[in-house]
Structures are given as structure tokens and as C-alpha cells.
Amino acid sequence: MKIKFWQKLYLCVLFVFLLFFNGGIFAIVTAQNSKALAQQKENFLTQQEYILQQIVNDMSLVYESRPLGIPLIIRQYGDRYANNGVLMQVKKGEELVYSSIKYEYYDDYIDFPNKYLQNRVSEIAEIEDEKYFIVECNLPNEFAVYGTLIAFPIQSFFDDWNGTILMINVICCTVSAIMAVVLYNLLKALTKPIQSLNEATIRFGKGDMTARIEHITNDEIGHTAKSFNEMADRICTQMQTLENSAQEKQNFINDFSHEMRTPLTAIRGYSQYMQRAKIDGEEYYSTLEIIDRQAYRLQNLSESMLALSISDKEQLDFTDINIPQLINDIGLSFQPKLHKNKVDLEINCNDTLTVKGEISLIESLIANLVDNAINACKADETKENHCVKINSFKSNEKVIVTVEDNGIGMSREAMEKIYMPFYREDKSRSRQNGGAGLGGSIIKKIADVHGATLEYISVHGKGTTATVIFTTL
């Protein structure tokens, strides 16, 4: 059987209380009793001195004239005090002169010369089953041959003491029982938060992620309970984050596998068709064009995956990047696509803007935004004049780059899922453009690596403005 902490605490506190309380009570009562006994003895010694002084005075009166009257004097005093319960025994040498005790208490009397008050021998002993305080000494001077023993009754003192002890025992037992009950309930109530903490810890350890401590006190235990709840919340949050991350990775792998399967299937199918079928020149080149388009799609997909992989690395070569020059280079690289899709490009840049970053990633970020803008203009067949505008400027110590188009725009659903890998609002159109649906994910990861912020404003049917805010100047 395991003893709980509060039970151990209860037993320890109860033991200490009983030890000091009962021990203290008995120590105090014993000290008082010893003091009272010492006072009682002192009173008896004073009485003994008085009795012997009376006897010696009377013996001195008859010592010269009637020495045979001494035993009579001793007997008179002995009988008188015997009526009051004080026993006496007197010996002259070996001869018993007088005794109110039924038997001879001692064999050898004590021979103390000089002052007898300084040579008294006293003890507490039983005579006829009663306790007496016995004082022994010799008479002084010429009566030194007389040895005396006077026994004062002290049984009542010990009877009172035994009664007091009994009463103290009853009181101590009663108080101890009450204290045990009170202490039991008190410690059980005080340690209840510890029990709750222990139960919650056990439940949490067994996998119950909802285990929390509800009643929190404003003390050390309460602070511990609060810390436990906060720790449990953090663990649950981290576990949820890990689960979401694992699910996202799994979804990414599934989507990536699906995206790879489509162009590979097309390439293999058309390759087999070219091997087995007899086709003329025009159909031959048409089939090669399809294979080339699917190969380009695979290349685009692999490059996008590589960009995602690079953006996850911690160690990147950050250098000063001239943003206007980079934007102009990107504009030049998109001229064929702009011309093919009949989209105009406007660039408005401040010539002195620089940011710190990895140049190939920053180029990939801006290029993806421009490519998305051109594709959005191409998808909008309701307008004749399409335009993509690239602006860069500095505001509040931050470099801002915007890419604006007047293309088809994005729906609310597309805005919410813009950073989701492989998400495409119009899947058929994206595949025709060779897109893998990874542009949004790439842009977001590159921005995160550089501490940049992305913002999108889009109206479906009117266009989109993408804003990148750099803080690493």
C-alpha cells in the first residue's frame, strides 16, 4: 500500500505535535509536582526539627533529677504525634526505646555528632503499604546516643499526583484525538491542489492532452499548477503545429507525386505513340511540341522545388542588392513573354534602394510576382490593354516593392489559399502555362527567410497588387 504525500505529511505533523504537546504537558506537570514535593519535604523537615527540639527541651529538664523519666517523655510525644499520623521510632544504642511503627524500621541508628540538623537523612519509603517521608538523625549533645526516626505521611500527595496524571492523560488523549481529526481534514484540504496537480500530470502523461488543473490557488502550489497548464498548452500547441506540418508535408508529397505523374504519363504516352504509329512530318512536330511542353513543365516543377529547398537553409550569403537594377534585369528577361501575351510593363524605381539578401532568391521572389501578374493579364480576355507595373520606393526606413496588374484578379478563396503548395484557382489554365502551383509557396518562404512581409490586394475582374516590404536594409 502506497502512502500518499499528504498522508505522510499528516503522520509527521501529528507525531511532532503529539510528541511536543504531550511531552510538554508532562514536563510542566512533573516540574510543578517536583517543586511541590520539595516544598512538602521542606515543611516536614521543619516539623521534624520542631518535634525534636521539644523532646530535647523536656529531656534536659529531667536529665539530672529523673533520668528514668526520659523514655516516658519520648513515649508521650510519640503517642501524641501518632494520633496525627506521624510515626516515630527512638533507639538508645541497640535498645528500642519507643516505636509507633509495628516493626523495627532500621537496625543501626545513625551517630552524627555536633549539629544534627546538618546531618539528617531523609527518604520516601513505604510503611505498612503507605508512603511516608522518613527523617533519621541522632539527638544532639549529651543525648547523641538516642537515634530517632520520624515518618510523616505523604500518601495523599502521591494519590493527588496519580489523580493529576490520570486527568492529564484523559485531557491529552482527548486533545490528541481532536487534533488528529482536525489536522487530517485540514491537511487533506490544503494538499488538494497537489492531488489535483498529480492527477492532471498522470492523465497528461498517459496521453490525455485535455488534462488541466481547474481550481488554482494564489500560492506556490497555485503558481506551479498555472505553470503546468501553460506548459500543457504549449505542448499541445507544438504538437498541433507538428501535426499540421506533417500533414502539410504529406499533402505536399501527395500533390507533388500527382503533379509529376501527369507530365510523365503524357511524355511516355506520346513517346510510345511516336515509336509505334506511322505519322507524317506535321503530326510528328506537333507531338514533339507536346512532349517539349510537358518536359518544360517538369523542369519548371523541379526548379520550383529547388527554390523551396534553398529557402529552408539557415546559412545564406546575404549581400547588398541594388533593387532598381535587379528589377530592370527581371523586366528584360520577361520581354519575350510580355511581347507574346501583348502585356505592357512599367517600371518606376528609386535609383538608390538597396536591401540585404541572397540575390538569387530575391530575384526569384520578384520574378514570380511578375510572372503571376503576366499570367493574370493573359487570363483576362475582357480587356484589350493589359499592363504590369513594378514600383519600388522607401517608406519609414523600409524598402517597398509593388507589382500591380489589371488582369483577372483573385477570388476570396484564392486569396486565402495563395500560399498553399500546388493550389491553382484555374488548374487547366495553369497547366497550359506550365505552372506547378508552387509560386505562392516559394514567394512566402523567400520572404520569411529575409524577414520581409507580403501583402496582397485583389479585386476579381479588376486586378491584383502584390506588395513586398523589406526590413533588412
Cell 488523549, residue located:
173
Average pLDDT over residues 45-63: 90
Q: Is residue 211 pLDDT above 50, yes or no?
A: yes
N-term to C-term CA, the chain: 68
State residue 48's pLDDT score.
92
How many Cα atoms occupy the beta-carbon half-sphere of 35 within 13 Å?
Answer: 6
Q: What is the pLDDT of residues 425-443, one digit of tens each?
A: 554 444 444 444 456 777 8
Would you say the C-alpha torsion 356, 357, 358, 362 has a positive or negative sign?
negative
Question: In this structure, are residues 168 and 26 in contact, taking their beta carbons and an 8 Å threshold?
Answer: yes
3-state secondary structure of 175: helix
Calpha distance 412→460 (Å, rounded): 8
Beta-carbon contacts of residue 311 (< 8 Å; ≥ 6 apart)? 361, 442, 445, 446, 448, 449
Q: 184 to each of 20, 175, 338, how far by Cα in Å?
A: 18, 14, 86
Long-range own/partner contacts, residues 330-336 (CB < 8 A, 24 or more apart): 330/363, 330/366, 330/367, 330/370, 330/390, 331/370, 331/390, 333/367, 334/367, 334/370, 334/371, 334/374
Specify the 3-state DSSP secondary structure of 144. coil
Tell me the three state secondary structure of residue 49: helix
Residue 301: per-residue pLDDT: 60
Q: 217-221, 292-296, 329-333: which has the highest mean pLDDT?
A: 329-333
Quote the percentage of the chain above a pLDDT of 90: 25
Mind giving me the DSSP string for 270-331?
HHHHHHHS---HHHHHHHHHHHHHHHHHHHHHHHHHHHHHHHT-S----EEEEHHHHHHHHH
Q: What is the pLDDT of residue 375?
A: 87
Q: Can you tell me the mean pLDDT for 11-20?
A: 89
Q: What angle do CA 45, 49, 51 make, to 5 degrees?
A: 115
Size of the chain in residues: 473
AA letter at 386: H
Tell me 460's DSSP state.
Answer: T
Pairing status of strand 343-349 against strand 386-395: parallel
Residue 258 vs residue 253, higher pLDDT: 253
What average pLDDT score do residues 112-137 get? 75
Is the CB of residue 294 less than 8 Å from the CB of residue 436? no
Mind listing the pLDDT tens digit for each residue in 101-110? 876 555 443 4
263-277, 292-306, 351-365: which is most confident: 351-365
Q: Whole-angstrom Cα distance, residue 361 to residue 132?
A: 112
At 353-403, the pLDDT tens digits run: 899 988 877 887 888 889 889 988 887 777 778 999 999 999 888 999 999
In terms of phi and psi (left: phi > 0; alpha: psi -120 to 50; beta: otherwise), the region of 211 is beta
C-alpha distance from residue 167 to each of 25, 160, 162, 231, 273 (Å): 12, 10, 9, 56, 115
pLDDT tens digits for range 316-348: 678 899 999 999 988 888 888 888 888 999 999
Burial 344-369 (b: 16+ CB within 10 A, else e): ebeeebeeebbbebbeebbbbbbbbb
E-assigned strands of 188-266? none
390: Cβ–Cβ under 8 A, 6 or more apart, which residues?
327, 330, 331, 345, 346, 347, 348, 349, 366, 370, 401, 402, 403, 404
Query: Is residue 233 predicted with pLDDT exceeding 80?
Result: yes
Helix (H, G, I), strand (E, B) or coil at 453: strand
Render pLDDT for 415-425 as a digit per residue (tens, 0 to 9).
777 776 655 55
| The pLDDT value given to residue 437 | 46
Whether the predicted pLDDT of 256 surpasses 70: no
219 phi and psi angles, rounded to 5 deg:
-145, -170
Cell of 434: 506550365
Q: If you compute the radius of gyration of the chain from its CA atoms, what whole number of angstroms results? A: 57
Range in 75-89, 102-116, 148-162, 440-454 with the lowest mean pLDDT: 102-116
CA neighbor of 455 nearest in space, from 469, 445, 443:
469
For residue 225, which of 202, 187, 204, 194 has the smallest C-alpha distance?
194
Q: If you average pLDDT over every residue of the chain, what do you get? A: 81
pLDDT score of 323: 92
Helix (H) or strand (E) holding 138: strand 130-138
Mean pLDDT of 37-42: 93
**Element housing 41 (H / E):** helix 5-62
d(CA 337, CA 296): 15
